[in-house]
Structure 1
Amino acid sequence: MGAGQSTSQIHPPTRALHVLRVTPSSPASRTTIEPFFDFVVGFEGDTLSTENTIDASQLERIVEQHEGRILNLLVWNSKNQQTRVVPITPSRAWSQPQIITQDAGSNPQPSLLGLSMRMCEPETASDNVWHVLDVLEGSPAESAGLVPMGDWILGWSGGVLAAENDFYDLVEAHVDKPLRVYVYSHDFDALREVVLIPNRHWGGEGLLGCVFGFGLLHRIPPQPADRLPGTTPIELQEATGEFEDQELFVPADVHSEPHFSPEQLVEWRRQEQEQWNQETLANRSFYEQGSHSALGPQNMVMDHIHHEHSDHESHDYEHEHSHDSHSGVLLQAPALPHNPVSPARNSSGHLLNGESSLR
């Protein structure tokens, strides 16, 4: 099996080195090794790797012998159940600056790979995960960015957890203190570090304000075969050009508004103007056909109202005479229809110019 190739493996290896942490800037950080999901089961040429087991001491000797040279590690992934070849070049050069800054009296042994691993059984190592089911508003879990239904807690900065109550005991031991945990996002197929600060004064129940699920029904589901780690799922990707490229959809039973030419609009306006002029002329002819006796008293009444509101005190005697002389004519006057262009409206126009009739 060459470098970069992978083979499916129905049964997980019996024992393997579980990768817990990849140190930044180390040789392992420049490979595809993934913490918590990858298990080192051997190296190319290892006879024990065919028996689904590994000899840690032998692997350590092989790594030292390949310092500065490429070593092909056999790595099994718990998500896709496949074993792949990962080429890596063991080196201590990446850790030399850190050694110089430390105390000269100490003699730390630099890591050749930059991996933190533990011997375990891969078949049961992936069972101890805590599924985030719900996150309460304003809780420490919400402040830390935990996503309900999409996040799983795999471990913490001190390593992995062996049983369900181990996580709850860990939270109780970190009340009002930061707790660094490793969270896996199934939506983005990515691992991240999250800092939780459990406390009892956030305003709700519990130390974290979060509901977890543990057990067989809350295992991490497998990813699609064509999915690359760290990529955005299709259902969460933003649609680029979705609205720019689409064409306007018009249902078959919907008729669009007809287009009228400017000549048609001008002709319609001319016809409306002629109709309005004819109606105005008819209204004016209605008043002109009336008798002088009918129009005269009406005008006199309007003039009388004008004098009544303009100079009431100095024309009391005229008011008495007007009521006596025109009362009979008012009863005989026909009820004229309201006409916005009637000349009779002009005689009382001053009442509409801000002058009150009750002063």
Structure 2
Amino acid sequence: MGQTSSTATPTTLPEFALHCLRVADASPADGKLEPFFDYLIGVDAASSVPTNAQAAMAVPTPVELARVLEANEGIPIRLTVYNAKTQRVRDVTLTPLRDWHAGSGKARASLLGLSVRVCNPAAALESVWHILEVLEGSPAEMAGLVPFGDWVCGWAGGPLHGESAFHDLVEAHIDKPLRLYVYSADLDNLREVVVIPNEKWGGSGLLGCGVGYGILHRIPRPATPPTEYFPHTTGHVDAARA
């Protein structure tokens, strides 16, 4: 995505990276970083505040990333990004800005319009739920969920973790709007879907659809084997806005 070049996936990913959860509309990151699938695994060491003097690229902590952005406001910086869906690494050039929200009349606290969280990119596509059969007249059908072509990647509160997480989330939203982030394999895009789980629609289940979880139900990945290497790197569990 964006004006970038990409290479094949590294044989060894960093243990921790900055997971891109949300990208604000019209922000510096809009159209260049892909929410839920992109992970920041490096910051250009030529930036004013390099994160690791021993390496050309190093995984920043949220605090280090914020420091780099502050020091380079209005100056293009280069990020190294791993995409879990394509299994490729690419360079992305962004310019941190505070006045990116047109017409707001206010400076933005976020210099990129990006919400990030530290987690393990190797497990990026493990916690997704494949939409299977969708029953006629069900909440799932009313929300526009597509059987076999859609995967639930997260919700308005962020990613989900563990096989029972999606079931628990649905149970907690009976008769209440539930905002999900759904990936379409047919269109290769991530969209927002609002569904209202309920028992009144006249069929079986709160959503009226089958859901698959596990290795047989993960988002399809490219068959090309990884060929490149990135050094093993550790980080800290945290969350922040960039």
Question: Scaled by the length of structure 2, what TM-score is found?
Answer: 0.82
1:93 and 2:92 equivalent?
no
8 Å contact kept, 1:15–1:52 = no
SS in 1 for 2:170: helix
Counterpart in the other structure of 1:193: 192
8 Å contact kept, 2:22–2:115 = yes
Over 3 Å counting, the alpha-carbon distance change for 1:50 and 1:82 in structure 2 is farther
Counterpart in the other structure of 2:15: 14
In structure 2, what residue type is equivalent to 1:16? A
Counterpart in the other structure of 1:219: 218
Counterpart in the other structure of 2:238: none
Q: Equivalents in 1 of 2:223, 2:126: separation in Å?
A: 20
Over 3 Å counting, the alpha-carbon distance change for 1:49 and 1:185 in structure 2 is farther
SS in 2 for 1:111: coil
1:112 and 2:111 equivalent?
yes
Unmatched runs of 5 consecutive residues or more in structure 1: 101-107, 226-359
In structure 2, what residue type is equivalent to 1:27? P
Q: Deviations over 1:157-177 (max 9, x none)?
A: 110111121111111111111
Cα drift, residue 39 of structure 1: 0.2
Counterpart in the other structure of 1:323: none
In structure 1, what residue type is equivalent to 2:67? R
Cα drift, residue 118 of structure 1: 0.3
Counterpart in the other structure of 1:35: 35
Cα drift, residue 25 of structure 1: 1.3
Q: Equivalents in 1 of 2:217, 2:58: separation in Å?
A: 27
Over 3 Å counting, the alpha-carbon distance change for 1:99 and 1:34 in structure 2 is same
Q: Deviations over 1:294-351 (max 9, x none)?
A: xxxxxxxxxxxxxxxxxxxxxxxxxxxxxxxxxxxxxxxxxxxxxxxxxxxxxxxxxx
8 Å contact kept, 1:139–1:204 = yes
Cα drift, residue 94 of structure 1: 2.0
1:57 and 2:67 equivalent?
no
Cα drift, residue 55 of structure 1: 3.0
SS in 2 for 1:217: helix
Counterpart in the other structure of 2:234: none
In structure 2, what residue type is equivalent to 1:201? K
Counterpart in the other structure of 1:145: 144
Alignment of 1:143-182 (within 5 A): 143-182=142-181
Alignment of 1:283-302 (within 5 A): none
Over 3 Å counting, the alpha-carbon distance change for 1:171 and 1:117 in structure 2 is same
SS in 2 for 1:93: coil
8 Å contact kept, 1:144–1:194 = yes
Which one of 65, 85, 93 corresponds to residue 79 of structure 1?
85
Question: Could you say which structure has the higher helix fraction?
Answer: 1
In structure 2, what residue type is equivalent to 1:65? A
**Identity over aligned pairs, percent:** 52
Q: Equivalents in 2 of 1:50, 1:205: separation in Å?
A: 55
Q: Equivalents in 2 of 1:17, 1:159: separation in Å?
A: 14
Q: Equivalents in 2 of 1:202, 1:172: separation in Å?
A: 15
8 Å contact kept, 1:14–1:53 = no
Counterpart in the other structure of 2:237: none
Higher relative contact order (CA 8 A, sep 6+): 2
Q: Equivalents in 1 of 2:200, 2:222: separation in Å?
A: 38
Counterpart in the other structure of 1:207: 206
Cα drift, residue 73 of structure 1: 1.0
